[in-house]
Amino acid sequence: MKKKVIITRNILPDGLSLLESHGIAFDVNLSEKPLSYEELMEKACNADAIISMLSDNIDQRFLESNPHLKVIANYAVGFNNIDLMTARALNIRIGNTPDVLTEATAETALGLMIAAGRNFKGANSAVNDGRWKNWGPKDHLGFALRGKTLGVIGLGRIGMRLAEMAASAFKMQIIYTANSTKENTFGAKIVSLDELLSQSDYISIHAPLNASTKHLIGKDQFQKMRPHSVLVNTARGEIIDQDALIWALKEKLIFAAGLDVTEPEPLPLSSELLKLENVFILPHIGSATFEARREMSILCAKNIIAGLNGENLISEVK
Ligand code: GLV
Ligand code: GLV
């Protein structure tokens, strides 16, 4: 009998063709919304594998109810939505999609540095609200990037790529936090988190979400930042204590924030963040280029094919 994969959202077709050419059947959720936990549970009971999204909650109960699954290929580099310990205990292989989305996500972070640092939100809303009456020499002022210090929290693949772009295009000095020093060609220096917070003009978060990074940036950390600093997050919303961020933005402890991720997602319309002019928010589109999403679709399919053959995945989370 053909092996069967549940694909929880309608991904770009490149990976689907690959599955087809390997004789693997799939059931794609063609609707515009995620499957509920119970819907996915019901579908998983007679499937061999899943291509999951970062919004699917693959927890202990889900995995223990589906120990027959061979592989779950997450359509994301992050895997905080999956209970790895339980998956490991049940011998269910877990895949993710690093590398192929590095460029797209680094570009999103750079875009947010500029959008937040140059006050695009306030300026754009003046246009949309009819407050653009004339040209003003002191209207919508922001800060330049050139020559400033960028602090990268987590110099992994994405953080490194952003640092390279910032150093080469804007001659920024790079400081970073990481578990170990990282070789680089642009003089980036490893520092403590406190040093990074107090020395950076721009701060960009590129750490995975786990127990040690949840609410890593809270009230104490905002108090160490420079008042003209710009905080960017393209990693996971939960790394920032969002109430503390709202407080810091209101109290002008920092100049602005650019967020591609929030807590929760989607962000409710009632969120105070949406009322502030100095925060520019995107709906988690870090990897949303045609190029990256195509490669992610292919990599997920390759992970499924390998896993169903009982082989190590192309990109396996251990
Ligand atoms: C996106 O947030 C990802 O982890 O790929
Ligand atoms: C992350 O996990 C990366 O690719 O930086």
Stated pTM of the model = 0.97
Q: Do domains 4-100+290-308 and 102-281 have the same CATH topology?
A: yes
| 155, 206 contact by CB (below 8 A) | yes
**Fold of domain 102-281:** Rossmann fold (3.40.50)
pLDDT of residue 293: 98
pLDDT of residue 106: 98
Burial of 206 (0-12, 13-18, 19+ CB in 10 A): buried
Q: Ligand 2 pocket test: which of 102, 164, 236 has the largest number of ligand atoms within 8 Å of its C-beta?
A: 102
Domain extents in the chain = 4-100+290-308, 102-281
> How far, in Å, is the centroid of ligand 1 from the Cα of 127?
32
Contact residues for 252 (Cβ-Cβ < 8 A; gap 6+): 227
Averaged pLDDT, groups of 10, the chain, 318 residues long? 96 98 98 97 98 98 98 98 98 98 98 98 96 96 98 98 98 98 97 98 98 98 98 98 98 98 98 96 98 98 98 97
pLDDT of residue 1: 83
> How far, in Å, is the centroid of ligand 2 from the Cα of 31?
29
Q: Could you say which of 3.40.50.10190, 3.90.1150.10, 3.40.50.720, 1.10.287.1770 is the CATH number of the domain covering 4-100+290-308?
A: 3.40.50.720
Taking only the tens place, the pLDDT of each residue in 238-269 is 999 999 999 999 999 999 999 999 999 999 99
Which amino acid type is present at position 10? N
294-298 long-range contacts (CB < 8 A, ≥24 apart) are: 294/12, 294/14, 295/97, 295/100, 295/101, 296/11, 296/12, 296/15, 296/75, 296/76, 296/97, 296/100, 296/101, 297/11, 297/12, 297/13, 297/14, 297/15, 297/16, 297/75, 298/14, 298/15, 298/18
